[in-house]
Chain A
Amino acid sequence: MAKADEAAAIITADGLQALLLAIRARGYRAIGPTVQNQAIVYDDIESVDDLPRGWTDEQDGGRYRLARRDDDALFGYSVGPQSWKKFLHAPKLRLWTAERDGENASVTPEPPPSDRLAFVGVRACEIRAIEIQDRVLVGDLYVDPHYKALRERALIVAVNCGKAGGTCFCVSMHAGPRVEQGFDLALTELLEGTEHIFLVETGSDEGRALLSQVPHRPASSREVEAREAVIEHTASSMGREMRSDDLNELLMSNLEHPRWDEVATRCLSCTNCTLVCPTCFCTSVEDASDLSGARAERWRRWDSCFTMDFSYIHGGSVRASAKSRYRQWMTHKLATWIDQFGSSGCVGCGRCITWCPVGIDITEEVRAIRGGDACAEDMQ
């Protein structure tokens, strides 16, 4: 098989602890899944004891629950509400400060952070999402210096999903579950009886250097097969599916489809879907000054196309109706993103379905539009 297989190594659960120590010893801030507020939340981790050992999640439209597994899996959940964009593309960031003295003012940009972040437990869909945000924030003429600084130095320890979530459809979006690229190390958690090991693939010199610092042995062919079985099982148990090859044409030729009105009767414009989405990148800026007017700051914060303010120009909002805002979000995510950045903006992680308070399901909305495709009907 692929070259990565020949180099595949095995580490034990203790080896994973050693790996975390090695990562931290190399100056990284290790961030991984933890259990907080009854959810899987990405946060600083110090040891494997911080990981969600024995936890899994149950997900459906508008529903998320943690549940106990009958084993000690450390990565036995699918994805939580948060994505890595929380770290690379901060929810709130000061962009600059300005001082004014008489008539003269000067602006001092916020220096990019020097943190070296190590993301532990990154899923295939999440790597894809990071690559999608790369194209937006560092892939064009203008570069976001904060994102770039963090991204260039970030270490990615990926995990092949051992379980598909109830709202997962990465297979439909060709974004998983197999981790194929964009990682330094990729783990597959293998649990059999009392054996608890991780098959490790390396994807960069940094990853190889880290692995060399950890006790490991070559993977046997049986263990490589076990990894294949894990990925195959996950791929075949997706909670959702969505035909994705024609979405640009389908949605852009149905901008007046009655389904947009129907979904607008359910959509609360709450912005949850955009906040949990690992690729949604929209931001707003807030300018403020102190009371004396001598000092000012600009902050950037996540924004959402579901708010009225988002499209406000003098005289009113361009997208005043919930219908138009839902349509903007979904057509951008699935259709116009392709024109803008060469790929879909969706990775099939299912977060927007799970965290929608009324359980609006993007895959169902696409099916509804496809089912009642006005153009298709015309042709029949």
Chain B
Amino acid sequence: MPQTLKACTPPPYPMAPSMTPVTRFIRESAEVFTFDLAPERATPFAPGQFNMLYAFGVGEIPISISGAADAPDRLTHTIRAVGPVSAALGRLKTGDQVGLRGPFGVGWPVEEAKGFDVLLIGGGIGLAPLRPAIYWLLRNRAAYGRVGVLYGARTPDDLIFVSELEEWRKTPDFQLRVAVERAGPDWTGDVGYVTPLLSKLRYDPADAIAMICGPEVMIRATALALEDAGIADSRIFVSMERNMKCAIGHCGHCQFGPLFICKDGPVHRYDRVRDLLAYREL
């Protein structure tokens, strides 16, 4: 089963955030930034889980945790500024406070994947929710088969975690392919979508688990390509996004057919959502 860590005792006021200091702020690209929060109490989480982050007086949004799960005293989030709340979070600096609720939801199946080849495919900011799983695999490398990461972005300037990508590229026994949709003359990597790059990775489809995060159209295309490549739909996992106001199954906004993205997801086994994904505007 996918990994879940839930608070043993849910907070008495589950909608009230704890104001938490920013301890590090990094700009990843023009639109994307990363910050660490130092929660008052150690906050264990599973790779793929998310928090609700509140910008004082502005609002609250769901953001996946993008840091390592073995450091529960540090919660890292990587955010693209696309709306009022994410833009306000992007104006924070070290020492400022962010309202924190979480962690919530069901994460990546990192335990279930032990012994398997593992493919991680991220599109755009979708690499951020995958990063805790990548860290997990790297730190427990012997427990897994071959590991491959595909990452697609719009342009080279939109790439995030750039220095880490370089490290991963040099990591032995770790496959990484990065593609951009539009490239300049300086770009020597792949151009186009990530799906054609699947054929460049070495893995055994009969013995592989895949984890996908990105725009929904990319998730659909990638999952289809993985199925075509012979990976069972029950071994493909996708992280989904919907409007979310509560993260605790009460507000109703994140429903996707019978599922609540907040508590049944955000990571879903693909065979459980494939039919639903086929309907527009569900």
Contacts and interface: CB of A to CB of B under 8 A. Distances in A.
Contacts of B2: none
A96 interface: yes
B154 interface: no
Contact of A104 (B15, B17, B97): B97
Interface in B251-273: 251-253, 255, 257-258, 260, 263
Interface stretch (A62-70, A163-171, A176-184, A305-313): A305-313
Contacts of A106: 19
7 contacts: A104-B19, A142-B10, A142-B249, A255-B279, A296-B57, A318-B282, A336-B258
Contact of A328 (B13, B241, B245, B255): B255
Given A98-B99, A107-B18, A313-B242, 20 more contacts: A95-B13, A95-B15, A103-B97, A105-B19, A107-B16, A107-B99, A140-B263, A141-B248, A252-B257, A256-B279, A285-B60, A287-B57, A287-B60, A288-B57, A289-B56, A293-B56, A296-B56, A313-B243, A324-B282, A328-B282
Given A107-B19, A143-B10, A285-B246, A100 B83 contact: no
A88 to B, nearest CB: 13
B241 to A, nearest CB: 6
B250 interface: yes
B253 A324 contact: no
A30 B158 CA distance: 61
A283 interface: yes
Contacts of A255: 279, 282
Interface string A288-327: 1100010010101001010000111111001111011000
A374 B17 CA distance: 48
Given A141-B6, A298-B15, A311-B242, A100 B56 contact: yes
Contacts of A293: 56-57
Given A145-B12, A255-B279, A340-B260, A285 B56 contact: no
B245 to A, nearest CB: 5
Nearest to B125: A314
B13 A96 contact: yes
A98 B248 CA distance: 21
B96 interface: yes
Interface string B142-170: 00000000000000000000000000000
Contacts of A328: 255, 282
Contacts of B260: 340
A235 B227 CA distance: 53
Interface of B: 6, 10, 12-19, 21, 54, 56-60, 82-83, 95-97, 99, 241-243, 245-246, 248-253, 255, 257-258, 260, 263, 279-282
A96 B253 contact: no
A318 B261 CA distance: 13
Given A287-B54, A303-B251, A142 B281 contact: no
10 A-B pairs closest in CB distance: A289-B57, A282-B252, A324-B281, A339-B258, A142-B248, A109-B13, A314-B82, A336-B258, A296-B57, A109-B16
Contact of B97 (A105, A137, A315, A331): A105
B170 to A, nearest CB: 34
Given A282-B252, A283-B246, A285-B246, A336 B57 contact: no
A321 B245 CA distance: 21
Given A104-B19, A284-B245, A98 B56 contact: yes
Contacts of A310: 243, 253
Contacts of A115: none
B14 A312 contact: no
B56 A105 contact: yes
A56 to B, nearest CB: 34
B98 to A, nearest CB: 10
Interface of A: 95-96, 98, 100, 103-107, 109, 136-137, 140-145, 252, 255-256, 281-285, 287-289, 293, 296, 298, 300, 303, 305, 310-315, 318-321, 323-324, 328, 331-332, 335-336, 339-340
B10 to A, nearest CB: 5
Contact of A312 (B6, B243, B252): B243
B19 A311 contact: no
Main secondary structure of the interface of B (DSSP, over half): loop
A283 B97 contact: no
B253 A311 contact: yes
A297 to B, nearest CB: 9
A285 to B, nearest CB: 5
B273 to A, nearest CB: 13
B18 to A, nearest CB: 7
B9 to A, nearest CB: 10
Contacts of A284: 245, 251, 253
A177 B106 CA distance: 41
A96 B16 contact: yes
B57 A141 contact: no
A320 B258 CA distance: 19
A123 to B, nearest CB: 24
A321 B280 CA distance: 10
Given A105-B97, A141-B10, A311-B242, A282 B279 contact: no
Nearest to B264: A340
Contact of B252 (A96, A104, A281, A324): A281
Nearest to A283: B251
A110 to B, nearest CB: 8
A104 B22 CA distance: 12
A249 B56 CA distance: 45
B281 A96 contact: no
B250 A281 contact: yes
Contacts of A340: 258, 260
A109 B280 CA distance: 39
A137 B250 contact: yes
Contacts of B82: 314-315
B95 A103 contact: yes
A144 B250 contact: yes
